[in-house]
Amino acid sequence: MAQQESLRPELLCVIVRHGMGGKVLRKGKQLGFKGATIFLGRGSKDYKSRRLHKFDLSESRKEIVLILAERRTVEETIGTLSAHFRFDRPHHGIAFRMPISEIQGSSQFANTTGEKGGKNPMYKAIFVIVDRGRAEDVIDAAYEAGQKGGTIIKARGAGAHETQKLFRMEIAPEKEVVLLLVKVEHCEHVTASIRKRLELDKPGNGLLFTQEVTEAYGLLSEDGTEKE
């Protein structure tokens, strides 16, 4: 039973400065991952540094690396990866892993199914999908609830509505996805703040979902030390 547990699929997510994604991928391969998906995002503006905020200089480009693997592999390597890229220091990146329920379409996984949630997770990942331009509001709302920042990813919506046509171009509505990592005990507070600010209860204003994070590296407390 224990062995089966260790074969359950997990998602490892690493967020690093732009340009580092390839290095994470290479290191990950050395550590035994079969592959990864990299996409671009940006770090939200930072409220900690007033000076930067005032001069509008606090955003930065990020790369997000997604790796799917068995729990055993992820568990063994997340620490090595974080140590290698010095996630214990500020601004070096973050890594976290979370359980997922199923992987298909990859020959290395024999369609394994996972458990529902992690054991005693300390963090939760909040995903908010909103119309383009509203990610800042999400970050603002999260800030009011005590969060210090997040990652914003550009995306397109493929809603169930009919696609619109402009001239001869079929268009899709543009979206932004905001990823926030919060401590479990703060999660409800943060989501409530976002829900209120963006009026998520009304239709068409966006979606929010959360997922338990089994383990996270690189989340630092205010004095710069790592909190685990």
Partner 1 sequence: MTVNRGYGDFRRSALLEKTREVLYSVLPVTLIVVLLHATLTPLETAVLVRFLVGALLVVFGLTFFLLGVDRSIAPLGDLIGERIVRGNRLGPFVIVVFILGFVLTLAEPGLVIFSGQIESSTAGRIDAFALLMVVSIGIGAFLVLALLRIVFKLALYKLLVLLYTLILILGFFAEPEFVVIAFDASGATTGVLAVPFLLAISLGISRLDRSSLSQEQSSFGTIALVSVGAILAVMLYGTFRADTAFIEAPSNHEALNDGVFRVYLHTLSDALFETVLVFFPLFFVFIVVQLFFIEFDPRRFQRFMGGFAYGFSGLFLFLLGVNAGFLEVGSQIGGDLAASGVYVYSIGVAFLLGVVAVIAEPAVYVLTHQVEDVTSGYVSRAAVLVALSIGVGLSVALAALRVFIEPLEVWHYLLPGYALAIGLGYFTPKTFVGLAFDGGGVATGPVIATFVLAFIHGAADQVASADLIRDGFGMIAMVAMMPIVTLQLLGLIFQLKSKKKGV
220 touches partner 1 (CB under 8 A)? yes
Phi, psi of 24 (to 5 degrees): -60, -45
Q: Which is nearer to partner 1, 114 or 150 (CB)?
A: 150
Q: DSSP letter string over 63-117?
A: EEEEEEEEHHHHHHHHHHHHHHTTTTSTTS-EEEEEE-SB--S-TTS---B--SS
CB of 79 to partner 1, least distance (A): 18
Q: Which residues contact 7 (CB under 8 A, 6 or more apart)?
A: 70, 71, 72, 112
Span of 3-11, 66-74, 140-148, 198-206 interacting with partner 1 by CB under 8 A: 140-148
Distance (Å, whole) CA 48 – CA 159 = 36
Q: Which is nearer to partner 1, 16 or 114 (CB)?
A: 16
Among 150, 177, 206, 214, binds partner 1 (CB under 8 A): 150
Rule CB under 8 A: is residue 46 a binding residue for partner 1?
yes
User: Does residue 160 bind partner 1 (CB under 8 A)?
Assistant: no
Q: Is 161 an interacting residue with respect to partner 1 (CB under 8 A)?
A: no
Name the minimum Å distance from CB 134 to partner 1: 13
Minimum CB–partner distance for residue 157 and partner 1 (Å): 10
- Scanning the structure block, which residue is given the tokens 């899709």? 172
Cα dihedral across residues 204, 177, 42, 93: positive or negative: positive
Write phi, then psi, for 143 (nearest 5 degrees).
-65, -40
- 122: helix, coil or strand? coil
Binding positions for partner 1, 172-211, rule CB under 8 A: 172, 174, 180-183, 186
Q: Work out the number of other CB atoms within 10 angstroms of the CB of residue 75.
A: 16
User: Can residue 163 be called a binding residue for partner 1 (CB under 8 A)?
Assistant: yes
91 binds partner 1 (CB under 8 A): yes
Q: Does 86 bind partner 1 (CB under 8 A)?
A: no
Q: β-strand 123-131 against 151-156: which pairing, if any?
A: unpaired
Does 162 help bind partner 1 (rule: CB under 8 A)?
Answer: no
Residues at the contact surface with partner 1, assessed by CB under 8 A? 15, 17-18, 21, 38-40, 43-46, 48-49, 51-52, 55-61, 63, 90-91, 94, 107, 142, 146-151, 156, 158, 163, 166-172, 174, 180-183, 186, 218-222, 227
